[in-house]
Chain A
Amino acid sequence: MTAWRLLDTGVRSAAENMALDEVILTAKARGWVPNTLRFLQFNPPCVLVGYHQSVEQEVRLSYCRQQGIEVNRRITGGGALYWDETQLGWEIIAEKNHPAMPARIEELYSKLSGAVVSALQELGVEARFRPRNDIEVKRRKISGTGGTELEGAFLFQGTLLIDFEVETMLKALRIPTEKLKDKELASVRERVTCLQWELGYTPLLETVKALLAANFARLLGVSFAPGPLTRQEAELFAAVLPKFQSEGWIDKVRKSPWQRQALRSLYKNKGGLLRTSLVLDSMARRIESVYLTGDFFVYPQNAVFDLENALKGSSARYEEIVKTVNKFFAAHQVCIPGLGPGDFVQALWEAVRKGDWVRQGIGQEDVNSLFTVAGTLETMAPPQVLLLPYCAKKPGCRYRYEEGCSLCGACTVGQAYQLARKYDLQPVTIQNYEMLEDTLRELKKGGHSSFLGTCCEAFYAKHKDDFERIGLPGILVDVDNSTCYELGEEAKAYAGKFENQTDLKLELLEQVIKIKVVKQKERTGCL
């Protein structure tokens, strides 16, 4: 049996650990060191982006600075990760043509992950490999892997979540969740797991390391002998560490801010509400990551995480989304009453298409504050009416419970009235849901072919199917400070009796008016 080195580099900084990756891989490529199993940990906590990622697009830098979270770049591929001391890193650094190593990358992932899977099973966790490169427990990710190579050597590495601080991770990374609300924390918690959650206790790190080493030894048919960094490695480490501490390395990849777009959509039908949150690489037209949540029923439970996984890294072109989704449903026995492949395609496509609104003149940060009903932004006719919600009026205002506005200037409704007049739109305040439905029907009957309105996202989600049923195409602008649905006061809101005051997004409203009313009229020569 060949002896491999078991190298435990202990708890180190992000730059030190990243430098050591390069050092050991180089040392292996030059034939200086034996094949190696390395264990690593991080302190201070850090965010590590993948080799080809851009820090500013993946990381909430101000939060990280404030919290003392380091930021660095891996030499391996994949996505950004948050690391703290509750995670264990493991790496295999070996020669590519070692008889136990598959040449095909997917097979290498699957084979080497097998050692981690069996180690976790010995600990009493039902782990399994999830192609292409994750390890999961009941469809929840517990370990991710990645790798790289140099000449005749490769480095394959993985994380193992011993415990997990979801909230800090969400704040440190630009994960495509909407806001840091309890619901999103819960939805991330549903998708990941850690040994602590699975076992109900935190296993000793030494136990986990010993199990991993024993399983790698068995899988590869090798034995491990503990050994330190060699003198050559230590010298190389001292030489390359400054590079890994430099801004030049950490910010090596810069991308246009347009390139990474966080986009959301809401899709509703009889099967329920489907919320899509995705990150689009708008240049490569690729879905980088996606969350599919909502109130629909799925069997087997968590099967939708497999769909998210299948979509990760896939093409965002319509016909390719169709292919990816159809292929997933054909290959998996998934039951989602009322929602089929076509519904998922539509939901994804609605989110992807929002990326193009930037080209129409909507600000990048505003695309998720706009919703459309019964039509698309691009094709909608110029609206002639502006519908405003009563909840933006002051609670004590005499117009709070009746249509109209005195333009006193004490709330954003008056300013919206002035906007409407400036651009020749008719303002109407909507006092309750029935009035909205009646107004839309009357507008439709009266020959209007579109409307512009404003409401909160929760209202839009709740009534999306009602808007579609009425069938008058419309653009809806989100409001600020909307809490009635979160406070469970929607029955009062429905009847027009909710006490909270929302704020209209006046700048965005004007931007939409300029795009849909002014520019369109200019084009048709009506102004």
Chain B
Amino acid sequence: MQIQGYNFPEGLKYDKNHFWSKLDGDILTMGFNEFAVRLAGEFVYVDMVEPGKKVEQGKAFMSAESGKWVGRVYAPVDGEVVEFNADLEFEPDKINQDPYGEGWLVKIKIAEAGQLGALMDPESLEPWFLSELERVKGDAED
């Protein structure tokens, strides 16, 4: 689904920190959504995250650097990292080129399935996202 020129593929879930999640049983794959990628600019470094790392919903657990800015990655749910996209160590710009595909960040084993309810599909994301877009546009016109 396109919202104001930003692609939000169907079948994925989204959160208000601008990440996408894909669910497969008790494993959640996540990455930056296209909006976050465009705000950040080209990624040059991504932290490697060791499997086994515990993550907490809404809390930062890894970093990604674009243009001297260290951005944070926030977990969509509580859980444990089971896999990190090792390609990003040498090709962090995959996040820019293919945020919903080869630019995925980590896979998390979900600890609290009840938290998944907070994630949104593109349709339910749209009203909030439009207000977010309004805020950003307003800033850009300053």
Chain A residues engaging chain B, CB cutoff 8 angstroms = 50-52, 75-79, 97, 99-107, 109, 111, 132-133, 144-151, 283-286, 313, 315
**Assembly CA distance A169 to B140 (angstroms):** 37
Chain B residues engaging chain A, CB cutoff 8 angstroms = 38-42, 44-45, 47, 58, 60, 63, 65-72, 74, 89-93, 135-136, 138-140, 142
Cβ–Cβ contact A147 & B60, under 8 A: no
**Assembly CA distance A148 to B73 (angstroms):** 12
Which residues of A sit under 8 angstroms from B39, Cβ to Cβ? 103-105
**Nearest 3 Cβ contacts at the A-B interface:** A78-B68, A52-B45, A146-B68
Cβ–Cβ contact A104 & B69, under 8 A: no
Cβ–Cβ contact A75 & B142, under 8 A: no
Which partner residue on chain B sits nearest A101 by CB separation? B139
Given contacts A146-B69, A286-B44, contact A102 B60 (CB under 8 A): no
Chain B's interface: helix, strand, loop or mixed, by majority? mixed
State the Cβ distance, A7 to closest chain B Cβ, in Å: 21
Q: Count A-B contacts at CB 8 Å.
A: 95
Cβ–Cβ contact B136 & A104, under 8 A: yes
Given contacts A147-B70, A148-B71, A283-B90, contact A51 B142 (CB under 8 A): no
Cβ–Cβ contact B140 & A102, under 8 A: yes
Given contacts A144-B68, A284-B90, 5 further A-B pairs with CB under 8 A are: A50-B68, A52-B63, A77-B65, A105-B69, A283-B89
Cβ–Cβ contact A52 & B69, under 8 A: no
Cβ–Cβ contact A51 & B67, under 8 A: no
For B68, give its contact among A77, A104, A285, A286 (CB under 8 Å): A77
Given contacts A51-B63, A111-B142, A151-B60, contact A105 B70 (CB under 8 A): no
**Assembly CA distance A107 to B138 (angstroms):** 12
Which residues of A sit under 8 angstroms from B90, Cβ to Cβ? 283-285
Cβ–Cβ contact B68 & A133, under 8 A: yes
Which residues of B sit under 8 angstroms from A105, Cβ to Cβ? 39-41, 66-67, 69
**Assembly CA distance A331 to B60 (angstroms):** 39
Which residues of B sit under 8 angstroms from A107, Cβ to Cβ? 139-140
Cβ–Cβ contact A149 & B71, under 8 A: yes
Which residues of A sit under 8 angstroms from B47, Cβ to Cβ? 52
Which residues of B sit under 8 angstroms from A111, Cβ to Cβ? 142
